[in-house]
Structure 1
Amino acid sequence: MRKIRLGVVGCGIAARELHLPALKNLSHLFEITAVTSRTKSHAEEFAKMVGNPVVFDRYEELLDSGLVDAVDLTLPVELNLSFIEKALQKGVHVICEKPISTDVETGKKVVELSKKSEKTVYIAENFRHVPAFWKAKELVESGSIGDPVFMSWQIWVGMDENNKYVHTDWRKNPKHIGGFLSDGGVHHVAAMRLIFGEIAWVSAIAKDISPLLGGMDFLSSIFEFESGVVGNYTVSYSLRGDDRFEIVGTKGRMEIFWDRIVLNGEEIEVPHQDSYQREFEDFYRVIMGEKRNDLGDPLEALKDLAFIEACVRSQGNRVSVSSLL
């Protein structure tokens, strides 16, 4: 089996704690051959965790080295567009952490670049690889709760000064729309769209509650899928509480957890699988021409971001999500 030579670009939290464990389990598919980071000492530390990849001072040097078939971009969001473009110009595949870009307009440029290139651009949205969401989709489509009518997802993250993500410079002074609302929110939109499809319109209120977090940190929305299912999505990155993801239909209801689904009072176990490992496996299969890029498609990532941007723009008014696209 052919290994993909991978260059890791950006050696922060996501690369160290999320991507590297998955890639170590996929050493039969990927070999990390090169690394670079804005701070060279971070790249050198990361290289020691990997083995013996070449450490480069600059991204351009890594791309010109001939050592990589693909790059894994874990960067401040505002760098995604330019770094993707440079990789494609050098004939290198890309897997890039979400959100796709800082806003929908620049995200559209990523989509256009991907359409024009023969190389893969894969936006790494791991929530599209979470088994519980796929099981929920299966149960909804099989009629287990009758016709779905309403879904509600309340998420209370409750970040404080002990949270490592709070102290990331680019998150403290966000250039991406809504700050944490888009950084984390595109995950949630990806899951909701996976289960129910496209979202037609949204009305929302977004607020900046905590001075600790950069940008807005609270959002509550009411919206409607094109299928007619009505949704409520409320998230706070500053307030603590109990998360709840519930779907109500004409013949029952379900509650979704990471490792199980409670369907009409009965628990259905959903075995855990590493969603980061699953997305890298999928990226490999796309590169090798074994499947189309449906789960990492930049257009899907753009639609996730469009919902959040519509929420931020809404100020209580109804906004058509497709109008942004």
Structure 2
Amino acid sequence: MSTNKHLHWGIVGAGRIAHTFASDMRHVDNSQVYAVASRNLEDAREFARQYQIPVPLEGYQQLFDHPQVDAVYIATPHNLHYGQVREALLAGKHVLCEKPITVSAEQCEDLIALAKAQGLFLMEAMWTWFLPAIRKARQWVDEGRIGRILHIKADFGYPQPYDVNARTYNPQLAGGCLLDMGIYPLALNLLFKPAPYQSLSVDYHQAPNGVEDDVNWTLRYPDSVSSLGTSFRCRLPNWAFIIGDNGYIAIPDFFRASQASLYVLDQRVEHFEDNRLGSGFEFEIQAATEAIREGRLEAPGMPLSASLECQRQLQAILARIPGVPPK
């Protein structure tokens, strides 16, 4: 790592999610966005101008090779993640990669091994896990406030009209609602139920080209059941409920949660709201920054074992949808 006073980040890609990252960096200590790379130099220059980034670059390899860049944030579509993370690690950069980190468990395993061999930090940008409201919910569970978890219910869906040329429906670009939106309920469930599940059942609908556009799945454990869903066909409630034998936790818009409520029977006994200054990305960026500066290879709040398990569960769900194009 360079001797910079601040950790110097480089952003790979200049799309919507990259804008959120750059904007929220203003609320992170000991970090700055030093460079941004795009396939088009003018796009990189405009992005850099908007966020006062010193170095705009054309092409991603220039960013990976830049000596003043300590860590990179991969903000491109998920079908590109595997190759770009590999290139960044081979160039000696720490990596924070947008979710899903890869499109298969095999790719994820390869990146984990490479990061370890290179002695570099690697983390999937599952920002939901770092949100204060989600952490408060974890605290309530750990304190036994809702008793033993019996049910988890979570869904995430927004209408995405069918368009065979759109990224979301293009099988060559790993299209489909599971990787695009289903990663959120799947990851939330894993946060609260890390133990292996016993059985999996899947209900689904497929778009005309075979890509999954609506999926509901049930994970059964020895002592509980999780009911999860995602959809391109409709607006789902986008709530999460963690239900125990003594109470439950309700989290609206859980994927970007700013609040959570604790109930005993029908009585709300505690409510939490965060005081975020940005969009919520600042919490995961701060966690990654601190881990890198401390010399860690993983972030304590988002271990690579969790990313790998997410990939394995995604593959298990997809394997139960006949004829779905490979990701």
- TM-score by structure 2 length? 0.84
For 1:219, the aligned partner's letter is V
Match in the other structure for 2:217: 221
Shift in Å at residue 279 of structure 1? 0.5
Residue identity (%): 23
Aligned 1:286-305 pairs, distance under 5 A: 286-289=291-294, 292-305=298-311
CA distance in 2, matches of 1:70, 1:248: 39
Q: How far is the alpha carbon of 1:175 from its aligned partner? A: 4.0
CA contact (8 A) 1:133 1:194 kept: no
Note the C-alpha offset of 1:241. Answer: 4.2
Deviation at 1:246, TM superposition (A): 2.3
In structure 2, what is the Cα distance between the partners aligned to 1:175 and 1:303? 24
What is the Cα deviation at residue 19 of structure 1? 0.5
* Deviation, structure 1 residue 224: 2.2
1:184 maps to 181
Deviations 1:68-110 (A, max 9, x none): 1111111121222222222222221111111011222222211
Aligned to 1:11: 14
Distance 1:52 1:137 in 2: 36
For residues 124 and 284 of structure 2, the distance between their equivalents in structure 1, rounded to whole angstroms, comes to 9
Root mean square deviation, CA, Å: 2.7
- Aligned to 1:314, the other structure's residue is in SS state coil
- C-alpha displacement at 1:267, in angstroms? 5.0
Q: Deviations over 1:260-281 (max 9, x none)?
A: 2141221522222353101110
Closer, same or farther: CA 6–155 of 1 in aligned 2, 3 Å: closer
The residue number in structure 2 matching 1:63 is 64
Q: How do residues 144-293 of structure 1 correspond to structure 2 at under 5 angstroms?
A: 144-160=145-161, 169-175=166-172, 179-200=176-197, 201-209=199-207, 215-225=211-221, 228-257=223-252, 258=257, 259-264=259-264, 265-266=267-268, 268-272=270-274, 273=276, 274-289=279-294, 292-293=298-299
Q: 1:7 to 1:155 in 2, by over 3 A?
A: closer
What is the CA-CA distance between 1:62 and the residue it aligns to? 2.3
**Alpha-carbon spacing, 1:114–1:198, altered in 2? closer, same or farther (3 Å):** farther
SS for the counterpart of 1:24 is helix
1: CA distance, partners of 2:132 / 2:215: 26
TM-score scaled by structure 1? 0.84
DSSP-derived class of the 2:45 partner: helix
Q: 1:244 to 1:77 in 2, by over 3 A?
A: closer
Cα-to-partner distance string for 1:32-87 (whole Å, 9 max, x where unaligned):
22211123332121111121422222222222231211111111212222222222
- Once residues 244 and 50 of structure 1 are traced to their aligned partners in structure 2, the CA distance between those partners, rounded to angstroms, is 33
Q: How does 1:29-48 map to 2 (within 5 A)?
A: 29-48=30-49
Q: Which runs of 5+ in 1 are unaligned?
A: 317-325
In the other structure, the counterpart of 2:325 is none
Q: Say if 1:34 and 1:315 are closer, same or farther in 2 by CA, change over 3 A.
A: closer
In 2, the alpha carbon distance for the partners of 1:6 and 1:308 equals: 30
Q: Separation in 2 of the partners of 1:295 and 1:132?
A: 14
1:10-159 alignment, distance < 5 Å? 10-16=13-19, 18-26=20-28, 28-159=29-160
Kindly tell me: are residues 214 and 53 of structure 1, through their superposed partners in 2, closer, same or farther at Cα, counting changes over 3 Å?
Answer: farther
What's the secondary structure of 1:81's corresponding residue?
helix
Equivalent residues of 2:134, 2:260 under 8 A apart: no
Partner in structure 2 of residue 319 of structure 1: none
Distance 1:119 1:241 in 2: 39
Unaligned runs of 5+ in 2: 323-327
The alpha-carbon deviation at position 14 of structure 1 amounts to: 0.5
Judged with a 3 Å threshold, the aligned counterparts in structure 2 of structure 1 residues 82 and 244 are, in CA distance, closer, same or farther, namely closer
- Number of positions where the alignment pairs a residue of Structure 1 with one of Structure 2: 307
Judging changes above 3 Å, is the alpha-carbon distance between structure 1 residues 54 and 260 closer, same or farther for their aligned structure 2 residues? Answer: same
Q: Is the 8 A contact 2:185 2:229 kept in 1?
A: no
- Displacement of 1:218 in angstroms is 0.7
